[in-house]
Chains A and B, each alone.
Chain A
Amino acid sequence: MKEFMTGNHAIAHAVKLCRTPLIAAYPITPQTPIYEKLSEWEASGQLKGIMMRTESEHSAMASCIAASLTGVRTFTASSSQGIALMHEMLHFASGCRVPVVMANVNRLLAAPWGFWADQLDSLSQRDTGWIQFYCENGQEALDSVIQAYRIAEQVYLPAMVSIEAFFVSHFMEVVDLPEQEQVDRFLPPMDLPHKFDMDKPGFLVPVVPSELYRKYKHMAQVSMDSVKGLALQVDQEFRNEFGRGYGIVEPLMVEDAEVVVVTAGSITGTARVAIKELRERGYRIGLLKVRLFRPFPGEAIREALRGRKRIAVIDRNFSLGGGGIFCQELRAALVHSPDRPLVFSYIAGIGGTDVRPEMIERVCLDVMERTEPMDTPIWIMEEGS
């Protein structure tokens, strides 16, 4: 069934379709419509479960972790300062091996204040042990939440699905809502092996010696690494059931490309338009969308970029003293590539500034001129600014 809705409401629909019985949340712009929509359905009885209206995002995550350990599916949504406040509990969630799913609406971090799209909030959480997806639009966000539960509940690691503030969270688009029976077929009930057991009263999260700590972290890494293959397999099964899929990366017209533009999130949609136009004008430009960020799909990226010589990574995020974060990760993944491509870092759309097709065109034309490697990122701003 097709409906016209915002990205936020698409995510709320996904949570309802997944029959998530326990939600804990705290309001923050621009995530709040997810929290409100789910509250509305809880009140009307359409959502069978409990909405915990906690006093902070930190407590929301604490409650999700704890409830998950009783064996129920859980959800929270957050953004920006909220996810930063949660930071301690994000590490705790992955350490507890709980399949909590969270939607994050990418919003810039203060100071100064603003509400606009910027991926630094969730990318700052890259080392917390969460699976991370970056989505281009509301449809993909809905589908990714459903896939995230499937994956998280198989590897016992939490998963985060991110969309950008306003560009996706508040823009209305047509979304194809899956049927409940289809989602039920695709997503079996959660079965957590390490939940509270009254017959075997264990002690969860004990103090452990150094060697055991190392062992658990290594076990988590093995599980996290398996997500690259599992996410592809789950996406394929999703395609079989629902007729659409995304892969973990999506290459577009890269086979003969002189320049490949790499994007994540909503800038991808703009890049599709820009690249099509450049192709019509005779430029051999390709596009690679990165959807899965944790675990970072290094092999899939190397495969997609095989033989390419010039790559331009566009980041709507910036690590001060480092650079664009997707670019950093991609460079690291390509370090052993025999093609030794030139990888340039472009910073665009910071603080929710608009990234128009002509800016992507400028990036492509700029890369074509470059023959020398360059460490420092190149900021793309409007003419005259």
Chain B
Amino acid sequence: MVLTEERPNLLRPGHAACAGCGLATGMKLVLQAMGPRTIAVIVPSCEGAIGGVYPYTAYGVPTIHSAFEIAAPTAAGIANGLKVQGITDIQVLAFAGDGGTFDIGLQALSGVAKNNDDIIYVCLDNEGYMNTGIQVSSSTPSFAWTGTTPKGNPRRKKNIMEIMAAHYNPYSATATIGFPRDLQQKITKAKGIRGTKFIHMLVPCPTGWRTPSDISPELSVLAVETNIFPLYEVEDGKRYTINHQPRRLPVREYLSRQGRFRHLKEEEIEQIQRDADEEWKKLRYRAGLSG
């Protein structure tokens, strides 16, 4: 099921994303799966820049550019405003970056997930504050260079999926642009579930990751195949399903393609490999698989 050709493009041409932006591709795929009966929320981030400056906008559905930390309660306010008027055929979609989700918006997202307000929340994770020019976030991976970690990020990436699962929300899933069919299936599935749905989407960023502009989909595939970013779903905080059996390529193949990891020492690469192996084991255990 790839909807690209069948559905209208709701992220219009002429948007202001950098060349090769994975985030813009991700938004386009999500909006296609959502369809026109959608109200979208964006927050200050690359999404705001992509949307363009008044009187132009790339967004093809009614959209509000809310404040940084409140993608979730803005979407929840819209969803409840519609509900109280008896409007049931419009879905509310929130887009926020990793800064707006892992960091400044985490509390507000937690509050909405606790209430199980009926929204689809998509975290467009490019692993740093890219719109302000590449600063570290709590989603930035170990050892990665950013403008505020010139010697490499000393901490690991936060596990946002586990944080969401701890809310027992009905549906959370990882997705990435290199697997568009999987991504759109997950959005379609989320549309059919009432409550707070969370999609954690990895979106390669050529500008911030120091990569050529023509390899974002390929990098996104490598992230999955190296187990840096496995594709899985969590239902009601307890039922884990792995959606793609990775080829388990060495992480080096993913890291070596990106300028932000150029300075890595051998032991740092080995550390990332160990972390990926350990996380994969943990995930398989949660999914009821052994070994």
In the complex, the answer to whether A203 meets B65 with C-beta atoms within 8 Å is yes
Known: A56-B111, A198-B37, A203-B59. A70 touches B53 (CB 8 A): no
Of the 9-residue stretches B80-88, B183-191, B215-223, which lies at the interface with chain A?
B80-88
Tell me which residues across on chain B come within 8 A of A62, comparing CB atoms.
66-67, 70, 73-74, 77, 108
Tell me which residues across on chain B come within 8 A of A70, comparing CB atoms.
77-78, 81-82, 85
B76 on interface, CB distance cutoff 8 Å: yes
Tell me which residues across on chain A come within 8 A of B82, comparing CB atoms.
70
| Chain A residues with a Cβ closer than 8 Å to the other chain, count | 41
Please indicate which of the listed interface residues B52, B67, B110 has the most CB atoms of chain A within 10 Å of its own CB: B67
A341 on interface, CB distance cutoff 8 Å: no
In the complex, the answer to whether B114 meets A55 with C-beta atoms within 8 Å is yes
Rounded to whole angstroms, the CA-CA distance of A302 and B62 in the bound complex is 47
A49 on interface, CB distance cutoff 8 Å: yes
B65: contacting residue among A22, A206, A212, CB under 8 A: A206
Rounded to whole angstroms, the CA-CA distance of A33 and B10 in the bound complex is 45
B81: contacting residue among A59, A67, A92, CB under 8 A: A67
Q: Tell me the B1-59 residues at the A interface (CB within 8 Å).
A: 36-37, 39, 41, 48, 51-55, 57, 59
Tell me which residues across on chain B come within 8 A of A50, comparing CB atoms.
80, 83-84
In the complex, the answer to whether A63 meets B74 with C-beta atoms within 8 Å is yes
Per-residue contact bits, chain B 113-129, to A (CB 8 Å; 1 contact, 0 not): 01101000000000000
Rounded to whole angstroms, the CA-CA distance of A206 and B84 in the bound complex is 27
A320 on interface, CB distance cutoff 8 Å: no
Tell me which residues across on chain A come within 8 A of B224, comparing CB atoms.
none
B85: contacting residue among A65, A72, A198, A203, CB under 8 A: A72
B273 on interface, CB distance cutoff 8 Å: no
A72: contacting residue among B52, B54, B84, B90, CB under 8 A: B84
In the complex, the answer to whether B60 meets A201 with C-beta atoms within 8 Å is yes
Tell me which residues across on chain A come within 8 A of B84, comparing CB atoms.
21-22, 49-50, 67, 72
Rounded to whole angstroms, the CA-CA distance of A77 and B244 in the bound complex is 48
Per-residue contact bits, chain A 47-69, to B (CB 8 Å; 1 contact, 0 not): 00110111110111011111111
Whole-angstrom distance between the Cβ of B241 and the nearest chain A Cβ: 29
Closest to A55 in B: B111
Q: Tell me the B67-112 residues at the A interface (CB within 8 Å).
A: 67, 69-70, 72-78, 80-85, 90, 107-108, 110-112
Closest to B51 in A: A203
B64: contacting residue among A24, A60, A204, A207, CB under 8 A: A204
Whole-angstrom distance between the Cβ of A300 and the nearest chain B Cβ: 35
Closest to B83 in A: A50
Per-residue contact bits, chain A 194-205, to B (CB 8 Å; 1 contact, 0 not): 001110011111
In the complex, the answer to whether A88 meets B60 with C-beta atoms within 8 Å is no
Closest to B10 in A: A201
A22: contacting residue among B69, B73, B75, B80, CB under 8 A: B80
Q: Tell me the B234-263 residues at the A interface (CB within 8 Å).
A: none
Q: Tell me the B150-165 residues at the A interface (CB within 8 Å).
A: none
Rounded to whole angstroms, the CA-CA distance of A21 and B83 in the bound complex is 10
Tell me which residues across on chain A come within 8 A of B54, comparing CB atoms.
203, 206-209, 212
Closest to A89 in B: B67
Per-residue contact bits, chain A 204-233, to B (CB 8 Å; 1 contact, 0 not): 111111001000000000000000000000
Rounded to whole angstroms, the CA-CA distance of A209 and B56 in the bound complex is 12
Closest to B71 in A: A62
Tell me which residues across on chain B come within 8 A of A202, comparing CB atoms.
57, 62-63
A323 on interface, CB distance cutoff 8 Å: no
B61 on interface, CB distance cutoff 8 Å: yes
In the complex, the answer to whether A92 meets B67 with C-beta atoms within 8 Å is yes
Whole-angstrom distance between the Cβ of B11 and the nearest chain A Cβ: 12
Known: A50-B84, A204-B65, A209-B54. A59 touches B108 (CB 8 A): yes
A71 on interface, CB distance cutoff 8 Å: yes
In the complex, the answer to whether A201 meets B74 with C-beta atoms within 8 Å is no
Closest to A26 in B: B111
Whole-angstrom distance between the Cβ of A86 and the nearest chain B Cβ: 11
Rounded to whole angstroms, the CA-CA distance of A266 and B50 in the bound complex is 51
A89: contacting residue among B51, B64, B70, CB under 8 A: B70
In the complex, the answer to whether A196 meets B78 with C-beta atoms within 8 Å is yes
Rounded to whole angstroms, the CA-CA distance of A49 and B82 in the bound complex is 11
Tell me which residues across on chain B come within 8 A of A21, comparing CB atoms.
84-85
Tell me which residues across on chain A come within 8 A of B90, comparing CB atoms.
198
In the complex, the answer to whether B48 meets A207 with C-beta atoms within 8 Å is yes
Whole-angstrom distance between the Cβ of A18 and the nearest chain B Cβ: 14
Whole-angstrom distance between the Cβ of B17 and the nearest chain A Cβ: 15
Please indicate which of the listed interface residues B73, B90, B108 has the most CB atoms of chain A within 10 Å of its own CB: B73
Rounded to whole angstroms, the CA-CA distance of A99 and B66 in the bound complex is 17
In the complex, the answer to whether A59 meets B83 with C-beta atoms within 8 Å is no
In the complex, the answer to whether A206 meets B115 with C-beta atoms within 8 Å is no
Tell me which residues across on chain B come within 8 A of A204, comparing CB atoms.
62-65
Tell me which residues across on chain A come within 8 A of B66, comparing CB atoms.
62, 66, 92, 205
Other 7 A-B pairs with CB < 8 A, given A60-B73, A68-B77, A72-B84: A55-B114, A59-B73, A62-B77, A67-B78, A72-B85, A196-B78, A206-B57
A binding-site residues for B, Cβ under 8 Å:
21-22, 24, 49-50, 52-56, 58-60, 62-72, 74, 88-89, 92, 196-198, 201-209, 212
A/B interface sample: 6 pairs, CB < 8 A? A21-B85, A62-B77, A63-B77, A66-B81, A70-B81, A196-B64
